Homo-oligomer: A and B are copies of this chain.
Amino acid sequence: MSETTICRAFAPATVSNVACGFDVLGFAVNEPGDVVVARPRSRPGVELVEVTGDDGRLPRGAERNTAGVAVRALLDATGCDRGVSLSLHKGMPLSSGLGSSAASGVAAAHAANQLLGLGASQEVLLACAMAGERVACGSAHADNAAPSLYGGFVLIRAADPPDVVPLPVPEGLACAVVRPHIEVETRASRGLLGDTVPLKAAVTQWGNLGALIAGLFRGDLELIARSLEDVVAEPRRAGQVPGFAATQRAALDSGALGCSLSGSGPSIFALCASLAGAERAAEAMATALEGEGLASDRYVSGVGTEGVRLLPAEG
């Protein structure tokens, strides 16, 4: 546990829910992601000295920003009375369904943990990032924070305390994400779900979830493709994204294994057998959204097996 004078950590964006895994499944992409720089501070406590890439929209107070809250939780959990100064560089859009707040919290906790040589375990770092999520989203779910931390595909068996099950990622698996230029609030989007699920839909969902996990273990892309269906959240949320059905159809027609909302949307993801396939899917999805009069950003990336990591401390 060495102390350095600066630690820069990168935490990747994540796709949660993954069609059939509402609140229990997520995966990390290789990019984009958030970068947090942690520096020692002369006084105890956490300060947030800089936020870039958010167009000035995130809270600047460390106690209201997910990065600051995560580091505060880390200091409390480890009984550390030293101080940390944070700079947060957002590499992805806010409220887009890509786990933006989770990535900030994960990057911040990891950077501070390394800076101060605290030696906190991944379980502790996850709890700290979830404390940040609670401030950002009103509830603490691990399905973005855990894959951003661990990388790859991750199952959240139970949320409180988190029981995280890392899953294998088939060789070559890639992801296309399009973000239409509209915003969806996670809180509002959760409200659309209601409190109950038809038993028949629940059975369909757990059949698909089980099969998706079996498909990941086997590297069986056809089984994965058959499983990527959401009969619980997508039917209630897709109406928030104009052109969702056409976009999904375009992704599947381009050869994608599956396509659904990323998290609570509005971003739409497609899982593909290769990077080239993900390029095709992104193109097809963006074109479909354009047809609905919606501009969008595109991200194409391998599905990372690496989670949060340190970057060279040049900045």
Partner-B contacts on A (CB < 8 A):
20-25, 155-159, 163, 165, 167, 193-200, 202-211, 213-214, 217, 223, 226-227, 232
Q: Is the CB of B203 within 8 A of A155?
A: no
Q: Given contacts A157-B227, A217-B217, A226-B157, are A163 and B202 in contact (CB under 8 A)?
A: no
A279 to chain B, nearest CB (A): 29
Q: Is the CB of B207 within 8 A of A197?
A: no
Distance A198 CA – B211 CA, assembled complex (angstroms): 22
Q: Is the CB of B199 within 8 A of A195?
A: yes
Q: Given contacts A205-B202, A217-B217, are A210 and B163 in contact (CB under 8 A)?
A: no
| Contact residues in B for A155 (Cβ distance below 8 Å) | 207, 210-211, 214
- The one of B197, B211, B214, B223 in contact with A202, judged by C-beta atoms closer than 8 angstroms, is B197
- The one of B22, B207, B232 in contact with A157, judged by C-beta atoms closer than 8 angstroms, is B207
Distance A20 CA – B232 CA, assembled complex (angstroms): 18
A19 to chain B, nearest CB (A): 12
Distance A157 CA – B203 CA, assembled complex (angstroms): 9
A146 to chain B, nearest CB (A): 12
A265 to chain B, nearest CB (A): 18
